[in-house]
């Protein structure tokens, strides 16, 4: 309601916040557009992409861990995972230390699709980054991280950082 608040001097009006919210909405569309086009050719959806992405990112991850990262139910994930295993993109290996666990890894075929999807998505990100410069990118990442729920931030930070 009020436009200016906060402890020091404040720079963010509700209108400016609203523009940020809208930017997020429009940008997310662009963010998913390129991989979506590729996935369509394979008869896959975004859920498949997410599974492939995080399995690639943490090879050998367990189903439970993946569930926590994606924040969906096991029934939902299982549907996706089953088709990926059937199609030979993902391999599910029985755990050695704990045989109840299944460790998920991408097959060669899975890695090929992952590379395809990742490159498409990176291309847009790279173009955007290049357009706006390194300082902007730093700010972008900082705001995004600050917007995450604590649990998600934990998962985000657990993913290995670029050296």
Interface contacts to a copy of itself, rule CB under 8 A: 6, 11-31, 33, 50, 53, 57, 71, 118, 121-122, 124-132, 134-149, 152-153, 155-156, 159, 161-163
Smallest distance from a copy of itself to CB 58, Å:
11
Report CA 28 to chain centroid distance, whole Å.
11
* CA-angle at 67, arms to 65 and 73, nearest 5°: 155
User: CB of 38: closest distance to a copy of itself in angstroms?
Assistant: 15
Judged by beta carbon, residue 33 or residue 94, the one nearer a copy of itself is: 33
Binding to DNA (CB under 7 A) within 73-92 occurs at 73-76, 78-82, 92
Per partner kind, with CB cut-offs from 5 to 8 A, the member of a copy of itself, DNA, none near residue 152 is a copy of itself
As beta bridge partners, residue 106 has 90
| Residue 91, strand partner residues | 105
* Residue 53 near residue 70 (C-beta atoms within 8 A): no
Q: What are phi and psi of 98, to 5 degrees?
A: -120, 110
Residue 139: burial class (beta carbons within 10 Å; 0-12, 13-18, 19+): exposed
Cβ proximity to DNA, 94 vs 144, nearer residue? 94
**Contact set with DNA (CB under 7 A):** 43-48, 62-64, 67, 71-76, 78-82, 92, 95, 97-102
């Amino acid at each position: 309601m009020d436009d200016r608040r906060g402890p020091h001097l404040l720079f963010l009006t509700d209108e400016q916040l609203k523009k940020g919210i809208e930017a997020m909405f429009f940008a997310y569309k662009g963010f998913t557009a390129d991989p979506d086009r590729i996935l369509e050719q394979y008869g896959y959806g975004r859920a498949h992409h997410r599974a492939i992405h995080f399995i690639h990112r943490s090879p050998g991850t367990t189903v439970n861990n993946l569930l926590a990262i994606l924040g969906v139910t096991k029934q939902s994930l299982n549907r996706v995972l089953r088709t990926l295993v059937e199609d030979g993109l993902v391999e599910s290996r029985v755990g050695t230390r704990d045989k109840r666990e299944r460790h998920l890894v991408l097959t060669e075929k899975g890695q090929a699709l992952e590379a395809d999807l990742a490159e498409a998505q990176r291309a847009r990100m790279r173009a955007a980054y290049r357009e706006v410069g390194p300082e902007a990118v730093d700010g972008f990442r900082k705001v995004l991280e600050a917007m995450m729920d604590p649990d998600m931030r934990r998962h985000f930070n657990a993913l290995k950082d670029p050296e």
